Chains A and B, each alone.
Chain A
Amino acid sequence: MLALDKDTFESEVLEAEGYVLVDYWSDGCEPCKALMPDVEELAAKYESKVKFSKLNTTKARRLAISQRVLGLPTLALYKDGEKVDEVTKDDATKANIDAMIQKHVG
Chain B
Amino acid sequence: MENLYDVIIIGAGPAGLAAGLYAARAKMKTLILEKNKAGGQIVTTNEVANYPGSVEHATGPSLIARMVAQAEEFGSERKKDTIIDVDFTEKIKVIKGQEKEYKAKAVIIATGATPRPIGCPGEKELTGKGVSYCATCDGDFFTDLEVFVIGGGDSAVEEAMYLTKFARKVTIVHRRDALRAAKSIQEKAFKNEKLAFMWDAGVEEIKGDGIVESIVFKNKKTGEVTEYHADEEDGTFGVFPFIGYQAFSDIFKEKIELDPSGYIPTDADMKTNVEGVFAAGDIRVKSLRQVVTATADGAIAAVQAEKYIENNFEE
Q: CB distance B43 to A30 under 8 Å? A: yes
Residue of A32, A34, A71 touching B127 (CB-CB under 8 A) = A71
Q: What CA separation (Å) do A4 and B216 show in the bound complex?
A: 37
Q: CB distance B37 to A31 under 8 Å? A: yes
Spot the interface stretch: A6-14, A47-55, A60-68: A60-68
Chain B interface secondary structure, helix, strand, loop or mixed?
loop
A69: chain B residues within 8 A (beta carbon): 128
Kindly state whether residue A72 has any CB partner on chain B within 8 Å: yes
Q: CB distance B141 to A34 under 8 Å? A: no
A34: chain B residues within 8 A (beta carbon): 36-37
A95: chain B residues within 8 A (beta carbon): 98
> What string of 1s and 0s marks CB contacts (under 8 Å) between A72-88 and chain B?
11100000000000001
- Give the total of A residues in contact with B, Cβ under 8 Å: 25
Q: What CA separation (Å) do A69 and B210 show in the bound complex?
A: 9
Q: CB distance A71 to B61 under 8 Å? A: no
B127: chain A residues within 8 A (beta carbon): 71, 88-89
Q: CB distance A88 to B128 under 8 Å? A: yes
A74: chain B residues within 8 A (beta carbon): 128
Q: What CA separation (Å) do A50 and B230 show in the bound complex?
A: 36
Residue of B128, B141, B143 with most partner-chain A CB within 10 A: B128
Question: A35: shortest Cβ distance to chain B, in Å?
Answer: 8
Kindly state whether residue A28 has any CB partner on chain B within 8 Å: yes
B46: chain A residues within 8 A (beta carbon): 28
Kindly state whether residue A2 has any CB partner on chain B within 8 Å: no
**B interface, size bucket:** 20 to 34
Q: Which of B109-163 contact A (CB under 8 A)?
A: 127-132, 134, 136-141, 143
Q: CB distance A61 to B137 under 8 Å? A: no
Known A61-B143, A65-B236, A88-B128; contact A72-B137, beta-carbon cutoff 8 A: yes
B139: chain A residues within 8 A (beta carbon): 28
Q: What CA separation (Å) do A35 and B37 show in the bound complex?
A: 8
Known A33-B37, A34-B36, A68-B211; contact A89-B128, beta-carbon cutoff 8 A: yes
A65: chain B residues within 8 A (beta carbon): 141, 211, 235-236
B235: chain A residues within 8 A (beta carbon): 65
A70: chain B residues within 8 A (beta carbon): 128-130, 132, 138, 141, 211-212, 236, 238
Known A30-B44, A30-B61; contact A64-B129, beta-carbon cutoff 8 A: no
B134: chain A residues within 8 A (beta carbon): 29, 31, 72
Kindly state whether residue B39 has any CB partner on chain A within 8 Å: yes
Q: What CA separation (Å) do A26 and B128 show in the bound complex?
A: 14
Q: CB distance B37 to A71 under 8 Å? A: no
A89: chain B residues within 8 A (beta carbon): 127-128
26 pairs across A/B with beta carbons < 8 Å? Answer: A28-B140, A30-B39, A30-B43, A30-B60, A30-B61, A30-B136, A31-B37, A32-B137, A34-B36, A34-B37, A61-B143, A65-B211, A65-B235, A65-B236, A70-B130, A70-B211, A70-B238, A71-B131, A71-B138, A72-B128, A72-B138, A73-B137, A88-B127, A88-B129, A89-B128, A95-B98
Instruction: Report which B residues bind A (CB closer than 8 A).
Output: 36-37, 39, 43-44, 46, 60-61, 82, 98, 127-132, 134, 136-141, 143, 210-212, 235-236, 238
Extra 5 A-B pairs, beta carbons < 8 Å, given A30-B60, A31-B134: A26-B137, A29-B134, A61-B143, A68-B211, A70-B238
